[in-house]
Structure 1
């Protein structure tokens, strides 16, 4: 049976590795065009293209699947089915209809929960304690098709996005290996999703990563675990004023790692000074509404990632950091 693989990023690459390691080689890999990335806006190929360059597999990059010529090229591969893993584009019905055995989509959530482009981040930021992978028979609507196979996994209370992301990608690959033979033999009947229970994730932006110290410890900690990688978690700490000078430029502090300050008995209610950065025992804390977080890894704007202690040593004179005794 011939198949085509649709994918783009590291999630796609991990799923592809599982298939490749067990002898599944697609007729073609369909991905998106190269795009600019990073602060320097360097033209960068999608991860799956870099991974499979030199493999002998045909790699096609299309900006749209609506073009008639593009559809002719896809049809020319004569594939019986397709696999989609983080392709990040809606595949039109006309393309889906090209595959007699359907299109299998690997989605990292327990559908119908968290349809859309950011299911892992949404699950972590919402404080979910479990997630999983759903393999669905793709239809023309977003993450809407019937479920063929679904498996669950716990989200650890100290796990970050990248931890869950990698595990779900590996799960997706392993699930496909179990599923494909049974699916092609007609031994599995897809089950319609309960669309009344659907929830949706969204395209994330820089603004979604902003930390509000007035929120609870759990809300902020979940946000950091979910968004520290992308789109980034950040705050604007209060700067010390300098007499005779204009108002300081905006100062952004990114937060990469943190942990709840269990048992320290600190927070807005106990210090009476409101939320914000605080130094306790030469450690950097963020005082929140109902407690505090130890900020373990941070990055001042334009600088390298550093420990909370390094930040204190370098920025005590610039940033308002209260001393808590």
Structure 2
């Protein structure tokens, strides 16, 4: 028999998992999402991707600021859901909420738990140079991503992955994994696995300051920084007194005696820049107020400027 599900989520990642649920045989009876936020140049109140999708399917939407008042908790209880599915909702749920549905709450987390518990697992996996990651469907408890694991799905992290491309690939494997877990809960075949806390690490929330490139570090680390922080908050450096953003680069394991940050070679293929270890070939760069451009196009119009200031980080 299909489960009656309350879904709680906010951004695109969550909306795509809601879409997977809507395409399954389970019933989504209500949706919870963060309150509408100002967005765009006009700062108009804008519905989250999850709310927008729910409204398209005529599903009731609830947007409490939190669950600290009894009215919000009672409202949830009145839905008589079998299960609550939580995906990047943006609220810490109190125990009374976790206990409200008949089968509790399950969460879709974008890492192979217990690695990268916390707010930014996709970005932290890239920044750390992990070669694999995945999605964990977890029975929620009061801890931070500490609940028993129901289903996992893994994938390789490719050398050119950014947080955006990895985000999109995890959506592809996360939806089917979620449906598998729900089917197991429905038919009683679920076999929860306790996480081993010895292997846990924390994916703390990103800060814009983490985008500042330190050219004294290795080309490999800077490449990971660029990919892990693309598209947000972005990796950046100083050049001619301006902040420029690096969108695409490649680490080259080649020695140089040039000072870190110095451009040692310019060609249509990219700018080769010295680092603390190896060279970084910058292939796409964004100047202030401009769109990101391939280095070949930038050199056509600004070669003289790069030759006049052949150093980043000043």
> TM-score if structure 1 supplies the norm length?
0.88
Aligned to 1:286, the other structure's residue is in SS state strand
Aligned to 1:190, the other structure's residue is in SS state coil
Contact in 2 for aligned 1:18/1:170 (Cα 8 Å): no
Ranges in structure 2 where 5+ consecutive residues have no aligned partner: none
- Residue 44 (structure 1) shift: 2.7
Moved more, 313-322 or 251-260: 313-322
**2:261 is the counterpart of 1:275:** yes
Change (3 A) 1:54 1:210: same
Aligned length, in residue pairs: 307
Contact in 2 for aligned 1:90/1:141 (Cα 8 Å): no
* 1:78 paired residue number: 80
* 2:273 paired residue number: 286
* 1:297 paired residue number: 284
- Residue 277 (structure 1) shift: 3.9
Aligned to 2:84, the other structure's residue is in SS state strand
Deviations 1:289-317 (CA, angstroms, capped at 9, x unpaired): 22222222221122222222333344455
Deviations 1:199-229 (CA, angstroms, capped at 9, x unpaired): 0011111101111111111100111111021
Q: Matches of 1:253 and 1:40 in 2, distance apart?
A: 26
- Kindly report the root-mean-square deviation, in angstroms, between the aligned alpha carbons of the 2 structures: 2.1
Aligned to 1:252, the other structure's residue is in SS state strand
Deviations 1:131-170 (CA, angstroms, capped at 9, x unpaired): 1111110011110111111222111112111121111122
Q: Which of 23, 26, 32 matches 1:30?
A: 32
Q: Which of 233, 248, 260 matches 1:231?
A: 233
Moved more, 270-279 or 288-297: 270-279
* 1:244 paired residue number: none
Deviations 1:61-105 (CA, angstroms, capped at 9, x unpaired): 122122211111111211011111111221110111101112111
Contact in 2 for aligned 1:15/1:170 (Cα 8 Å): no
Ranges in structure 1 where 5+ consecutive residues have no aligned partner: 240-249
Q: Matches of 1:46 and 1:233 in 2, distance apart?
A: 26
Change (3 A) 1:39 1:251: farther
* 2:111 paired residue number: 109
Q: Matches of 2:287 and 2:27 in 1, distance apart?
A: 45
Aligned to 1:17, the other structure's residue is in SS state helix
**Within-5 A mapping of 1:102-141:** 102-141=104-143
- Residue 37 (structure 1) shift: 3.8
Change (3 A) 1:257 1:38: farther
**2:310 is the counterpart of 1:322:** yes
Q: Matches of 1:256 and 1:23 in 2, distance apart?
A: 41
* 1:167 paired residue number: 169
Change (3 A) 1:43 1:308: farther
Q: Matches of 1:116 and 1:251 in 2, distance apart?
A: 34
Change (3 A) 1:121 1:39: farther
Deviations 1:6-31 (CA, angstroms, capped at 9, x unpaired): 11111111111222122333111101
